[in-house]
Amino acid sequence: MTVSDLTAAVTTPVRRARTRHFVMTAPHHFAVEYAINPWMDPSVPVDVNHALRQWEALRDTYTQLGHTVEAVDPVAGLPDMVYAANGGLIVNDRAVVANFTFAQRAAEADAYAAWMAAAGHRPERTHHHNEGQGDLLVAGSTVLAGYGFRTDRRAHDEVAAITGLPVISLELIDPRFYHLDTALTVLSDGAEDGEVTLAYYPPAFSETALTQLRALFPTAIEVATADAFVLGLNAVSDGRHVILPVNATGFAEQLREAGFEPIGVDLSELLKGGGSIKCCTLEVHP
């Protein structure tokens, strides 16, 4: 073993997984019938059976890692309902239901509110637009909240009041990264190693947001354009294993160097709707 190997072994953190509770909705009704983000092109055909196989591979990855996966029944006429993360935020024994910006997705809120109520959560709604875990990511005892495209900045105060957690507002400025979960992922929430660890794509954020991120998370991983442009940051971590789009190879190498174990999953068919791993995964936080 060389000196550099010894140095790496000493400085690379030991990452620990924690069992998670995920909620997913199968893409039985998936389609791209309209364009409400730059990734969507209704002229490009969608193979629903292929999308379902890819979704099942993601679900099976979670279960093989020991995580709980709960299913919400898809509703005909709601082609984007597969992107379960957008349905709301469940944390601190409180449930926030999405209030979608676009009319095409509005009815998804009722479907996810019904599931929350049936699961024993008490769903609460915001007056202003919020798109659930698309823009509301739990980072330790804080909620990182995106705004600029889908979630109204004023909803952040409502989310703070409902959850009882402080909310840090982060402005998004690139329409390709229209939700926070397309530009930032929480790799470790602090429960495993005492430190919140993030990865993000700097050009997606305003200068003010970047200043906040760099001050609060100085050890965060900054991801390159090639990985961001395959939605590589639309990933899910259990504190050790990071499930990410298979084409985000540079990000995967950064994760290995930081002590994480990347697991690539191909969700290319669902990318046609502007979503990937995290978009399809609503986490129920304790």
Catalytic residues: 179, 279
- Where does 225-277 show beta strands of DSSP type E? 236-237, 241-245, 261-265
Q: Write down the residue that tokens 């601190």 correspond to.
A: 92
- Where is 59: in which H helix or E strand? helix 48-64
Beta bridge mates, 237: 242
Q: How many CB atoms lie within 10 A of CB 249?
A: 16
Q: List all residues 6 or more positions away from 77 whose beta carbon is below 8 Å from its beta carbon.
A: 29, 107
**Cβ atoms of 273 and 32 closer than 8 Å:** yes
DSSP 8: H
Phi, psi of 90 (to 5 degrees): -125, 115
DSSP 146: E
Cα separation of 170 and 139, whole Å? 13
Joined together, the tokens standing for residue 46 give: 């969608």
Residue 147, amino acid: Y
